[in-house]
Chains A and B, each alone.
Chain A
Amino acid sequence: MWFRKRTDKDFRTEVESHIRLEADRLIAEGMPPADAEFAARRAFGNVALVREKFYESRRWLWLEQLTQDLRYGLRTLRKAPAFAVAVVLTIALGVGANTAIFSLMDEVLLRSLPVHNPQALVFIETEGTAGSSGAPPYPCFTRLRAETSAFSGIAAFATDELRIEVEGKPEQVMGQVASGNYFELLGMKAAAGRLMDASDEKLNPPVAVISDRYWRSRFGGDPGVIGKTFSFRKQAFTIVGVTPAEFWGLEPGRPIDITMPISTERNLLADSGAWWFSAVARLNPGAPVTVAQSQTNAVFQSFIADSRQPAEMIRQYFHHLALRPAAQGLSGLRTRFSKPLYALMAIASLVLLMATANIANLLLARGISRRREFAIRLATGAGRMRLVRQLLTEILLLFGLGAISGLLFARSGVMALELLFAQGRRPIIVETNLNWRVLAFTMTVAVAAALMAALFPVLRAFNTDPEEAIKEGQSRTSESRGSATLTRTLVAFQVALTLILLVGAATFVRTLSNLRDVNLGFQNEDVLTMSVELPDGYAQPDKSIEFWNQTLAAVREIPGARTAGLAIFTPLSGRDRGAQIQVRGYEPASVNDTLIRINHITEGYFETLGTELLAGRLITEADAKGSPKVAVINESAARKYFANRDPLGQSIEFLKGRKVDSAYSIVGVVRDTKHMSLREPVPPFAFLPLRQPRDSERRVTLAVTSMLPNGQMSFLQPIRSRIAKIEPRALVSEVLTIRGQVDSTLLTERILSQISTAFGLLALTLASIGLYGVLSYHIGQQRQSIGIRMALGASPSSVALNVMRQSGVVIAAGLLCGMPFAYLAARAAESMLWGVKSTDPMIYMAGIALLSVVGFLSAGLPARRASNIEPSEALRHG
């Protein structure tokens, strides 16, 4: 056993026995017994010293001292519970905020895919000046597989929300089609059953693999799920296996439920003009990326040369193939959230700094009152190092307790954020967990903060002069001039930090409110929308139009329903459709100018949203099969294609390839409504009647308003049951109000403004507590001198004024120092802002005004107390 603890008592017995034996020996040699004992002791030397050495030689001494210090620390904390609770809470908030944000960062920005050697994975993407657009069409992909040697495998995959039927009931899942070698390439083993392999691409029989998440949520983790079937596009797929729990797919935030062989999309596979999937490849060990890059690009260039794409399209979208690191999966989530997350991390660090400064001040004040204790301990022989160690142990204890409670705070905070992310039409699913990185981060942050907070108290402990401290007497504790400056500097520092946080909060709050004030182009946000998807077997447009007619009629009959309409998608839903057009009398300068957004709608749609008609008429029930094809365009389209002309009566010709495929004559112009984002200008739009479709769309959005304010949600059940009566296999999903939809597009702005406001106010509270504490403390210290001044004729009001002036100086110094940093922070955040500039004085004024008022208020009480000092009392009691 390596841990062999010998007791002190055992050692003492040995020493005594030694002396006994030596004395025996001396007596045997003829010494008188009385002298022998003494001589034996003398020969032994200093018994106490030897025992001390023995004590110190023990391996666990430090642990013993640590437990001693901890016990002592806990005892002192228990004697000052208010102090302890205040400090632990402050640290918990500071550390908790940092841990919460870091665990999100860890999940969104730092985590690698849970697959075999993710570093060797790359995505193959087409790139041009307009950005990247996924993998090249499947025929080119097949050539890449055959004609490159740098990869051990290449796999294609595409994800989409799919309607499937399980046990005859429709449901919506996050679906994926993937090459047969997809899982093998990722190096994955099935959690149950088997995963797909290349032979499954034959679809004989069709098989599918489900995710662990879906397995648990849909099938309750039933092991009998293997062998079950579901139907997708009239085909029965047999579930053959479950993917490992940690694998969610290659796109972070969008977990896959079901994976099917890519051959399920057999129509797309042959299409050499369809850009619809992503490609992931594994580099051979030792194969340089540059070689792989030039191999793939060579294949692509020969493919694109044959494609007869216009040169401009090639330059903008299909210029070359690039290999992108795939270790962290597709970058959508990272691109969207990396800036906001860094901003939040910066805010959280400022809050922690703030908390640390507050605690440093509290510790300093406490250190002053404990000066005597330290002095006495020094005088009775404690080493200074031992004292410092004691102090550090106490501070680390506080921060340790704070960090543990902070972890709990962080958990609930992160869960709230996860819920926010999971809202909206396309929920983002992140699941943070307490992994070693998060724990290591929390520990590092807590220890660093503890050391910062401990710096001043420890320095003071080093400089304690026992004689001085004891001489200063029992009842009074005094403070040197230097430490008064120190505590004030700390408060000024807090004021500066608070200013930065308040300015940050002001910019984000303004951004959010500016975006909320953005003219959406429609009046009603209290519109209930839901996606309705028809089952297979509605390939005939007539059949589905019949269904939509019945549905609209049924919904309009629901009591309380005011208006109802249908559209393929609604504003800000994140869905988008485009088509190529030509307009007589308009000369496009580039390919982009021929692109127009299209939506198919019914009568009632614009009425439901409250979109203003600017000219002509809206689409009616009569715009159906057999009547002339009509279109309504938005302002942008009118401005762009009919600059100085009247668009009414003109026509839009839709192109397929280079030929005109259909023409719609314009009957109306409506107000622009925001499309993908509140920040972007509205693109040109053409609204076509749903009953005069250009293509068949089985998935349509139903929009309804209520006569009662906020009554729209009560329609959900009646609508569901009415639709089920018409077609039981129709799938109703993505139920959401337009307001909710707008909110979900403002997700990052909402998170930023809420968190920065909460933290700004927290900082303000801490700063005011800091200022109050320091001023009260100073007044306590200066009681005697204030008393003397008043005895000599100073008026109470001048004393109060003096205190106010002191606090004014501290606040002004803090504001002055904080300003440049607040400006830098606002400038760094500028790309996230909307309608606010870092040079806008308003965002600073608010913070400065708030801090001044709060500073004034928190100085008021101590000032009053100072002016109430009774000179005779103060002088008598000191």
Chain B
Amino acid sequence: MSDRQSAVAVDQTDERLRQTRGVRGALGSFLRSARAGDVGPLPVIIGLLIIGTIFQSLNPIFLSSRNLVDISMDSVAVGVISLGIVCVLLVGEIDLSVGSVSGFSGAIVAVLFIRHDWNWILATLVALGVACAIGLLYGVLLTQFGMPSFVSSLSGLLAFLGLQLAILGDQGSINLPFDSKLVSFAQLDFVPPWLSYVLAALAALALFAGGYDNMSRRRRANLSSSSPQALVVRSVALLVGLELVVWYLNQGRGVGWMVVFFVALVVLFHYAFTRTGWGRSVMAVGGNVEAARRSGINVRNIYFSVFALCSLMAAVGGILAASRLASANLSSGTGDVNLNAIAAAVIGGTSLFGGRGSAFSAILGVLVIESIASGLTLLNLNSSYRFVITGLVLAIAVAIDSLARKSRASHGRA
């Protein structure tokens, strides 16, 4: 108990509680929780540093701003799909068909836009609607027929691949014109440098404002709150970090609007997971579905919403991928897209066991995967090495997840 504080905060009255104060205290409790297995994004950040060091020493182009801009643009499509995967993983389910759904959606847009001369917005809306229906179908199969999502989405993987081939027809490939909005968004549109600095500053400001608001409301309610110094340190760190990244990317082509779109989506999902009743229900279903049901949560609707979101994100990712390639073809969304998206979510720290994870794992995970892909391409190694190395990284990520889980259990930390 502190002598300086006249009234002890309501949540600090228990004498067994460890007191943390100031920046040092915040750092101390972070290290303690990391040691207990509450590692958060730490392993993947260390992994990114290792990957960067290795590839940079093998090929100095790797960390050049030009290459980093390419990595950032290439990450978006798979990253968006991976964001959907995070949703289903949080409730302890899986969707193996995201690759097929992404290819199918890209094909729908291309067919309607090019062959039928539709407006691209309308074509996109149709594709998104179809994807939503696919997700709801998985939800119905799970809740009404008790069909495990593993099986239903596995059959979906084949079925929607078939539909993709069918609607693309004999030609098999549809090119999107370079002057269309879709292609320029995915390839050519970059944020003006001044605006990118402003956006980065706004992000840091938002973190500070949110933290300050929370702090003052907790103060008013006589609850303990994090120290203002720690908040300032965090906000300044984010500001400096983001501005550095933006500055470095601006040495090359800059920050793509597509990248801004992806980051905005991730922030939106992060808000939904952590600050809304829906997010709490998702976490509850992932943690203990029976408890969630008994507390009156409509578990069926939660399943519907996460599967629909997952397929929706797969469709958005598929349309972005088609736009980035300026073409929808028979191989869109096949091959490693599926597994890369799932691997990205898991590598980023979302647990396969449900109930633990964060929207940011999509960004971190997809950066790992795309960095490896880019580094190996720069070394002129073919995709066989890429598969092996990505597989190894995934295995390590799952091992870390399982070990951290055990450690948390023995340290009494969920």
Chain B associates with chain A: no
